[in-house]
Each structure stands twice: as C-alpha cells, then as structure tokens.
A and B are shown apart, each in its own frame.
Chain A
Amino acid sequence: MQNKAWSLIFFTLLSQFGAGLMLYITIIYFFDHQAFQLLPSGVSFLAPDFLALMVITIAVLFSFFHLGKRLNATNALNHLSSSWLSREIFTVLIFGTCVLLVFLTRKINPAVTWLLPTTLLFSAFAGILLVAMISMVYLIPTIPSWNSWHTPLGFCLSALTTGGATIVLLVHFNITIPESGFILPKSIIVVSWALAIFLAIEIIATLVFQSKLAEASPVGINQVSFNSGTYQTLHMVRIFILFISMTFLIYFIFRLPGISANFHAHVRFFAMIFALIVIEEIIGRYQFYASYYRVGV
C-alpha cells in the first residue's frame, strides 16, 4: 500500500458516509415526517446534519495529511476542465456548504417553509455527485484493479450502508418510550431492510470481484498476488463480518415489532451491527488501496 494511504482511506470513507447520511435524511424528510421529527437539530452528535457536517470537516482535514505541500492546496481547483481530482475537491466543498446550510436552516428554524426541503435536496444531490466524483478519480485506465465496475459500486454501497446504519441508530437514540409503548417509524423498518439488501449485494460483489482479481494475470513489473497472504486473509475476514452483520440485521428487523419491552438491549444490539459495518468498510477500503498496481513500470 502507498504511503499515507490511511488519510485517503478515512477521507473517502468519511465523505461517502456524510453523503449517505444526507441522502437518507432527505428521503426520511420527504417520506416519513414522523421519523424526521425524532431527529434533533443544533449542535448535537445525535443531530444527523451536525454529524454530517463534522464528518465532512474531518474528512477534509484527513485529505490534507496526504499532501506534501499543504499550502499549495489553494491551487487544487485550477484544473476543473480535465482533472477528476480537481472536480472531486470542488464537489467536496459544494457538499460541505450544502450540509452547513441544512444545519443552519434547522438550527435557526426560519419561517420560510421551502428553505429546509430545498437545502436538503441540494445536499442529497451534492452527496450523490461527490460519490460519483470520488469514483471517477479512481477509474484510472493504467490501474486495472481500480478501473472496474467494483470501484463505483463499492463507493456507493459504502455510502448507503454507513449512512443507513447511522440513521437507524440515531432514530433509536432519539426515541423516548412512553408508558403506553410506541410504534417505530415505518421508514426505519424500510431503511433496515434496505441495509440488509445492500449488505447482501456487497457480499456478492466482493466475492465476484475477488475471484476476478485472483484470476487476473499481473501486467507490468508488479508481481502482485490477490489470492494469498494478507490480502486473501483480509478478504475472508471481511466477508465473514459482512455475513454476520447481515444475519444480525435480519434478526434485528424481525425483533422490531416487540422492542418496547427490552428497548435498550435492542439499541445496543444494533450499535454492535453498526460497529461491524464500520469495521468491514475500513477493511474493504484498506484492501482497495492495497490492490493498487499499474500497467508498465
């Protein structure tokens, strides 16, 4: 793996996490206002917009760590006409601004009713654009292991799984149970099912891509091997975690109707699933950077 790749691992993961989170908040706002009302606003890590703002800020800070000459980062937008990296940085800034506007709109709570849906829509769109731009940066024809369908799919799934898991967790954290019990918002059940489906897709995509990588004959001077050693071990560990997360998640969904009785244990159980998803995403992204090899010398 390249030096300083850890900063890129966290930059890409956190950016996609933020993008996924904003996408889910927007969907919940438009389709399930009851669930949206559960989410607090203002400076709180239980508020999804503030969390997304923090996440994207930390992601940008991480991106600085891999630069050799950070002062020259002011030139990063010079080549928007042809450089996907330049466009990616531009989109990060746009996305960050949109998230900030959502945060301010919710915090100030203005009387203008169209402002929040507009800012939410813009932030969701900017998030999707950001994931697309990050994908384009890595679709490099001279790097066969990255120049594949798996790169954009993997990035999209990262956004959808981490964002989805966070929104389910945040809604649970913000629920106060009345004596008479409560009904969990429908959108949370839908998001949980969607999450299970995304995890299943991730398992299939990872297995298919790994078999392709293992069969690929290396080009250039790099004698890379993807079907042995640490890379293969990490792949197996990741698949195991993905499978466990999906199984636990399905179990969690079937237990949802009767959660009032043992609510805190239920939330702890989902927090464990969330942690598993984060761990497998970090392993997956590490593997992504470790799979770097280029044609030629």
Chain B
Amino acid sequence: MVMHNIRLWQRWRNNNDILMKRLAFYFDANACSGCKTCQVACKDKHDLPLGVLWRRVYEVTGGEWIQRGKVWENNVYAYNVSLACNHCEDPVCLKGCPTKAISKHENGIVDIDPEMCMGCRYCEWVCPYGAPQFLEDAGIMTKCNLCADYVQRDKNPSCVDACPMRAMDFGEYDELIKKYGERDDIYPLPNRYHTEPSILVHPHRSSDHVELEQPEVSNLEEVRNAK
C-alpha cells in the first residue's frame, strides 16, 4: 500500500515536472539607457500607487580620476540594471511566508494572493532582489506577477515590450540560454545561489571595473523609497 502511494506520488511529481515551466527575463545592461520606460510601463499596467515600484532601475556608478604626472586619467563608469521579481526557482519569499499567500504557478510565476496575505512583510526582509513591496492602503504585499494575463495570451510582459532599446527579452529560461548563452550576474545583484533567479543578465562592458573600484547605486533615494 505504501509503495503504491509512493509510485502514485512519483508519477504525479514527474507529470508536474513536465508541466512546470520556468519563465524568465533577459536583460542587456549594454543596451539599457536608463530611461525607465520599463518602470513606468509596469506602474501604468498595474496601476501602482506612488512609491510602489514592481520594476526598478538601479543606476550604478563608480571609478575615479587619477593624476599620473601632469595627466589626469579616469576609470569612471556607469551602467543601469532594470530589476523586478525574478520568479526564482527557489523562492525564499515563498518558503518564509507564514500564510501561504505566495505560491508558484505551473508556468513558474511566483505570485501573492491578496486575500491570504496578512502584511507581515517577512517576504520583504528575505528577498535579496527587493521584489515584494508593501501596499500601504491595502496593508498587503504585492509584487511583479510577470503580467500573468498577458502571458496567458502569449504576449510579453508590459516592461519588455515597452523598452525602446530592446534591452529586455522574455521567455522560457532554457530557450533564453540557447539564445543568449549563460550569463553572470553583475553588481548590485546578489549571488545566484541564494534563490536561483530566473533572469539572464548580459553584463555591461564596464562591470569588470566593479571588482576594482567600489561601485555605488546613485539613485538610492528612488529605489529605497520603493516600499
């Protein structure tokens, strides 16, 4: 009887593995001009109130001017990183949520059920991407849902289609890897092992400097005030 149940469970799990998708974003830091159209498109699509940014653009700057004899040289650099929820393979927000308000759908979308959330903000603490954001009026957490209604109609999320530089792409994680190749994360993204995020980033050519020169996010006030 026990073995029968285990076999049934294994069959169910295998079937679900086949069904389970991993939808992901691709972001090309070289192409991004930092215009924040993606951010605005997201706010517009989801009618987000002031302060809530499901997608944020981090403006990274670094480097310095160095005098060599009579000559001043610089290694100053700047690039942008557009970031929303990465619908991680191992979402720490989902694991930590006490109410089970956060769930992962078959297509890989990690979503918050507003009817279940009690607004304890634990997901906000644990997420290294700052994805869950507090909706003051409703008293609950919200986050990017990959424009699930668009995805259902085989359309791209609003941020992807809004980008005038075509710096973003969207699709199945494995297909994106085939298209763009394996990509490393860049500052200020955390190490991938924390959550296995479903995002591929084409690093900016200046991001090599990051290891040498202490970079900083120059629009902290803007991204930090996102609740």
Is B188 touching A79 in the complex (CB atoms < 8 A)? no
- What are the residues of chain B within 8 A of A294 when measuring CB–CB? 125-128
Interface size on A, residues (CB 8 A): 33
For A72, give its contact among B58, B119, B216, B220 (CB under 8 Å): B119
Is B170 engaged at the interface, CB distance under 8 Å to the other chain? no
Is A117 engaged at the interface, CB distance under 8 Å to the other chain? no
- What are the residues of chain A within 8 A of B130 when measuring CB–CB? 296-297
Binds B, one of A120-128, A136-144, A246-254: A136-144
* Distance (whole angstroms) from the CB of B141 to the closest CB of chain A: 8
List 8 interface pairs A-B (beta carbons < 8 Å), by A numbering: A68-B141, A72-B99, A76-B99, A83-B95, A142-B127, A220-B188, A221-B188, A297-B223
Is B99 touching A68 in the complex (CB atoms < 8 A)? no
Interface residues of A (CB under 8 A from B): 2, 66-70, 72-73, 75-79, 82-86, 89, 137, 140-143, 219-221, 223, 292, 294-297
Given contacts A75-B118, A78-B116, A141-B194, contact A86 B98 (CB under 8 A): yes
Is B41 engaged at the interface, CB distance under 8 Å to the other chain? no
Is B129 touching A85 in the complex (CB atoms < 8 A)? no
Interface size on B, residues (CB 8 A): 41
Binds A, one of B9-17, B66-74, B132-140, B153-161: B132-140
Is B119 touching A83 in the complex (CB atoms < 8 A)? no
Is B119 touching A295 in the complex (CB atoms < 8 A)? no
Is A89 touching B98 in the complex (CB atoms < 8 A)? yes
Q: Tell me, in angstroms, the Cα distance from A142 to B123 when the chains sit together.
A: 11
Is A297 touching B98 in the complex (CB atoms < 8 A)? no
For A297, give its contact among B58, B121, B191 (CB under 8 Å): B58
Give B94's nearest chain A residue, CB to CB: A82
* Distance (whole angstroms) from the CB of A30 to the closest CB of chain B: 35
Q: Tell me, in angstroms, the Cα distance from A69 to B100 when the chains sit together.
A: 15
Give B185's nearest chain A residue, CB to CB: A296
Is B122 engaged at the interface, CB distance under 8 Å to the other chain? yes
For A221, give its contact among B97, B139, B220 (CB under 8 Å): B220
Is B128 touching A78 in the complex (CB atoms < 8 A)? no
For B129, give its contact among A83, A84, A297 (CB under 8 Å): A297
Is B117 touching A69 in the complex (CB atoms < 8 A)? yes
- What are the residues of chain B within 8 A of A69 when measuring CB–CB? 117-119, 138-140
- What are the residues of chain B within 8 A of A296 when measuring CB–CB? 128-130, 188-190, 194
For A68, give its contact among B100, B125, B134, B220 (CB under 8 Å): B134
Is A142 touching B98 in the complex (CB atoms < 8 A)? no
